[in-house]
Amino acid sequence: MLFDHIPSTHSITTKVLAYADDIITFNHNIDDTSLVLSHSRDFGDLSGCHLNHSKTTCYVHPSIPLSSFHSISEEIQIASLLANPIYLGVPLLHYDWDNKLSSLLKKLKKILFMDLPLTMRSIGINTYIYSTIYFIDQHHPIPDALLKEYSEKFLAMLNIYSPIP
């Protein structure tokens, strides 16, 4: 994953978050956004890799009228940042850890009751539950107290439902 400042000869300030073919740029205004789109078009012309316009959205700060982005609205979708954009399955602005951890505890209970060998259930716990927490934590750090509370519930559930005496 890349999160970096991209220098430019056009004097624009752009922050970029990229993973594989998913890219997010953070720009200050319509001029910077137009230049980023121009660079994207140039890249597409050279490489044959063009933006997917149905999946491309320009998120605008709520204080800026969406109408000021009319000149690029034919090229990409325009939306308010209040929509809490999602990148790689994770909302960018805020995350509901309580809801996610509650959901993961329910999934843990299902994994524990699956008719699978203990090793397979352990792999399910490690690869799904812990990797989910780790991945989201990269974007939205989980509060320590919440993680500790989850860990206690997790261990209690293991003690109650584990097939090992």
Task: Note the pLDDT tens digit of each residue in 99-128.
Answer: 999 999 988 888 888 888 888 888 888 888
Token pair, residue 152, equals 């206690």
What proportion of the chain, given as a percentage, has pLDDT over 90?
Answer: 17
According to the model, what pLDDT value does residue 97 have?
A: 95
**Does 40 score more than 70 pLDDT?**
yes
According to the model, what pLDDT value does residue 2 have?
A: 40
Range(s) of the domain holding residue 76: 2-89
Same domain, 104 and 139: yes
Q: How far apart are CA 61 and CA 53, in angstroms?
A: 21
Placement of tokens 């800026």 in the chain: 64
Q: What is the pTM of this model?
A: 0.61
Q: Which amino acid is at 99?
A: N
Considering only 14-18, 26-30, 67-71, 150-154, which range has the smallest mean pLDDT?
14-18
Choosing from 73, 89, 105, the residue where a domain stops is: 89
Same domain, 124 and 80: no
Average pLDDT, the chain: 80
Tell me the per-residue pLDDT of 21-35, one tens digit each, with 9 for 90 and over: 666 777 777 888 888
Q: How many domains does the chain fold into?
A: 2
Choosing from 32, 60, 89, the residue where a domain stops is: 89
Same domain, 57 and 14: yes
Same domain, 85 and 101: no
Taking a C-beta distance cutoff of 8 angstroms, is the pair 59, 47 a contact? no
According to the model, what pLDDT value does residue 151 have?
A: 92
